[in-house]
Amino acid sequence: MKIGTYYYPEQWPREQWERDFDGIAALGLQIVHMGEFAWFSMEPREGAIQLDWLSECVEMAAKRKLGVILCTPTASPPVWLVEKYPEVLPVDGAGKRARFGGRRHYSPTSPAMKQATGRIVSALAERFGKHPAVIGWQVDNEYSSDFIDQNEHAVAAFRSWLAAKYGEIGTLNKAWGCQFWNTFYTDFSQILLPESRVLKYGNPHEVLDAARFWSWAFGQFNRGQVEILKAKMGSDFRVQGSGEGKTRTGTVSTPGDAAAQQGHGQVAHATPFITTNFIPFQADVNPSDMAGDFNLMSWDSYPCPGNELAPTDQNYRLGNPSQIGFMHEYMAGFHKRFGLMEVQPGQINWGDAPVHLYPGAVRLWLWTALAHGAEFATTYRYRQPRFGVEMFHHGLIGIDGTTPSLGGREFQQTIDEIERVTTSERAATAASPVAPVAAPAVTPAVGLVFDFEQLWWFNILPQSKRWDYARLMRQWYGAFSRLGLNVKVLRPGQEWPADLPIIVAPGLQMVDNVVIDQMTKYAATGGHLVLTCRTALMDRTGQFFEGPLAKPILPLIGGSIEAYDGLPQGSLAMIEQDGKKYPWGVWGDLLYGEPETKTIAKYADQFYAGAAAVTQHRYQGGLVTYCGVFGEETFTDALAERIATQAKLPITPLPPRVQILRRGAYRILLNYTTGAVEAPAPARTRFVVGTRKVEAAGVAVWKE
């Protein structure tokens, strides 16, 4: 895994550039990322392209053997563009046009924005498309918007999108349930574009389609840039590992280079990539709408924004390992090739509180990225800014421009550790070049199905303020990862690997025949399928199936859902499983099982005490567990351990917030707690990083 940093030469005096590039190299960094907000510096007047300064910086990087990630600058349109073409700026629901300034002040459907984008991206691609130092491109930055644009061009694009999807207005009326408020349309030209995904008292099916459209609109804007870059890169751009079941590609500089990389194989030279940096669970853009245009996926990780309410420990200084791990695997699942584009380097400016990170946190996050198979990890930013809205956002270097910050020192430490391990591995291989290399043990994997469209629908029509789809995914990811199992994130429509002994599909409320057929086939052929509350209640338009609740999956679960309950904020009730009681509060289905269906857990209180909460049903050659309750983490952990034990998987139960992953022949323990833990390594194990006693926020690496 290569490690690097963002650098903004246009923000600093030219006479400091050489010094800064020397400093980047001195830290041991291998990548420099440039250009994402520099449109005005690249084109100060319409058509007056000026890239010599950027070329000079690319050559400075190349001289120091730094790989370069170049960015298209479209996240920050220049003033001359919006002044001449005001329709670039989005319009809100009150008809107020956004003002110039900051970033992300554009509409992706604006013709003028697309034309100007084509010009600047073409110039960049012509100049740098085949430059040997450029290892990849980032398109735009963190696609998102404050609201859905109401410009005439956006509304027209929405109408065209709807006409292409539905064909006839009557089909749309039916899909949107327009008979409910008698809000029928007679022509697509009558339809307006919802300004946000906040429903208020409108039509939820219309808002769902608006969310789909807005993501598609960003996808089309993105595709225009990608096609320009690909044309200039030519044969240098190719999609490696696309599709499912292939090995992950990347650069060799990770523990285990000499051994086969289990599940996440890497080759010596990575193909130049095109990507963008996604924000976790950000509702404006579904990554699936862009993945087909990229050959690598990447995301931004800021684990400690200080938004916890009344924490009782200091874990908030380390972040949530389940979210971090989930996002790594989600990104990896598209092309088996991913990167961590931004990782928090220290305190940030935009959080609820300026949390001082726990010592070792940054190092822990870098090792986590490596453990999951990231091709690279870079950070925003090299120098902490002395001006602007992000003055308080730490960098690897402090405001004097030369002194490494705490995060910068942890970057340097991690780079040194990885290099030490890699050098040792190469030396061992050179000493015994013909010695047989035993294949590393394979860690069993569990599948976890995540459907981005459910995130939209739950936000639009949550039914419970406590319902949190992202939290549900994190809980199930964390419950299995703490057992020492790999968790592969799957998507609807993606082929489910037949060799996964367990697949969990939490909260797939909207389903179609494709997903139901996948579930049925997997269970029938011997898999253990785990479903949860709020699964298969509706079709893809968001309308209930006519019949009993969850009608499509009732044959699978071997029972019925008689009713459901949700508790008020702050309230918890109890469920009982295997003689122990666990809290729940978000959602609880009251289940009725057929005679051959077993009850695994029951409600322990409320007026329905004794009712089934979790059931298990033998379906042809496999097994289906239905978890009808959205419980607290302790219950999900206990149920996951029961399911894994039942499947006879070799598990290593770990304390909460502790994970073990495998990279080739190496095991990597990640301690996301503020206390020491014991590494479950065999006796006389030689640790290549850390020791058997893994300190708070610590890492241990050993070879098996």
pLDDT at 263 over 50: no
Q: What is the predicted pLDDT for the residue at 425?
A: 78
CATH number of the domain residue 461 falls in? 3.40.50.880
Q: Which of 142, 375, 417, 425 is catalytic?
A: 142
Identify whether 215 is part of a domain.
Answer: no
Q: What is the DSSP string of 222-270?
A: HHHHHHHHHHHHGGG----S-SSSPPP---S-STTTTS--SSS---SSP
The mean per-residue pLDDT over the stretch 320-337 comes to 97
Higher pLDDT, 267 or 30: 30
Structure tokens at 234: 């030519």
Among candidates 293, 327, 283, which has minimal Cα distance to 453? 283
Judged by average pLDDT, the poorest of 217-221, 222-226, 392-396, 437-441 is: 437-441
Identify whether 499 is part of a domain.
Answer: yes
pLDDT at 253 over 60: no
pLDDT at 247 over 60: no
Q: What is the predicted pLDDT for the residue at 498?
A: 86
405, 410, 415, 421 alpha-carbon torsion, rounded to 10°: 160
Using 50, 70 and 90 to split pLDDT, how confident is the model at 461?
very high
pLDDT at 597 over 50: yes
pLDDT at 509 over 90: yes
pLDDT at 13 over 50: yes
Same domain, 166 and 311: no
pLDDT at 258 over 90: no
- Summarised one tens digit per residue, pLDDT across range 512-527 is 999 999 999 999 999 9
For 699-702, the CB contacts below 8 A with 24+ separation are 699/360, 699/363, 699/364, 699/367, 699/668, 699/669, 699/670, 699/671, 700/668, 700/669, 700/671, 701/255, 701/367, 701/421, 701/666, 701/667, 701/668, 701/669, 702/666, 702/667
**Pairwise CA distance, residues 660 & 665, whole Å:** 13
Identify whether 511 is part of a domain.
Answer: yes
**Pairwise CA distance, residues 324 & 228, whole Å:** 32
Same domain, 113 and 182: no
Using 50, 70 and 90 to split pLDDT, how confident is the model at 242?
very low
pLDDT at 160 over 60: yes
pLDDT at 231 over 50: yes
Identify whether 88 is part of a domain.
Answer: yes
Q: What is the predicted pLDDT for the residue at 432?
A: 59
Q: What is the predicted pLDDT for the residue at 257?
A: 40
CATH number of the domain residue 693 falls in? 2.60.40.1180
Q: What is the predicted pLDDT for the residue at 538?
A: 98
Same domain, 352 and 239: yes
**Pairwise CA distance, residues 15 & 35, whole Å:** 18
- Quote the percentage of the chain above a pLDDT of 70: 94
Higher pLDDT, 551 or 420: 551
Same domain, 231 and 352: yes
- Quote the percentage of the chain above a pLDDT of 90: 89
Which of 431, 456, 475 delimits the end of a domain?
A: 431
Please check whether residue 137 is in contact with residue 199, taking contact to mean a CB–CB distance below 8 angstroms: no
Q: What is the predicted pLDDT for the residue at 267?
A: 31
pLDDT at 196 over 90: no
pLDDT at 285 over 50: yes
Q: What is the predicted pLDDT for the residue at 240?
A: 57
Same domain, 691 and 554: no
Same domain, 543 and 632: yes
Q: What is the predicted pLDDT for the residue at 201?
A: 87
Same domain, 522 and 584: yes
* CA 217 to chain centroid: 20
Q: What is the predicted pLDDT for the residue at 268?
A: 35
At 479, is the secondary structure helix, strand, or coil?
helix
Q: What is the CA radius of gyration of the chain?
A: 26
Identify whether 652 is part of a domain.
Answer: no
Sole residue written with tokens 């013709």: 111
Which of 646, 669, 687 delimits the end of a domain?
A: 646
Same domain, 194 and 246: no
The mean per-residue pLDDT over the stretch 52-80 comes to 98
HSE-up (13 A, CA, CB side) for residue 139: 30
Q: What is the predicted pLDDT for the residue at 197?
A: 87
Structure tokens at 378: 């870079």
**Pairwise CA distance, residues 534 & 451, whole Å:** 13
Using 50, 70 and 90 to split pLDDT, how confident is the model at 433?
low
The mean per-residue pLDDT over the stretch 89-102 comes to 95
Q: What is the predicted pLDDT for the residue at 442?
A: 63
**Pairwise CA distance, residues 272 & 125, whole Å:** 13
**Number of domains present in the structure of the chain:** 4
Sole residue written with tokens 């910050």: 405
The mean per-residue pLDDT over the stretch 505-517 comes to 97
Identify whether 438 is part of a domain.
Answer: no
Catalytic residue check, 244? no
Same domain, 204 and 258: no
Catalytic residue check, 10? no
CATH number of the domain residue 114 falls in? 3.20.20.80
Identify whether 651 is part of a domain.
Answer: no
Same domain, 501 and 571: yes
Q: Which of 329, 342, 417, 453 is catalytic?
A: 342
The mean per-residue pLDDT over the stretch 378-395 comes to 97
Q: Which amino acid is at 427?
A: A
Q: Which amino acid is at 53?
A: W
Same domain, 398 and 471: no
pLDDT mean across residues, the chain: 93
Which of 622, 646, 670 delimits the end of a domain?
A: 646
Same domain, 374 and 246: yes
Q: What is the predicted pLDDT for the residue at 251?
A: 35
pTM of the predicted structure, to 2 decimals? 0.94
Q: What is the predicted pLDDT for the residue at 70?
A: 98
Please check whether residue 494 is in contact with residue 450, taking contact to mean a CB–CB distance below 8 angstroms: no
Identify whether 437 is part of a domain.
Answer: no
Q: Which domain holds residue 693?
A: 658-703
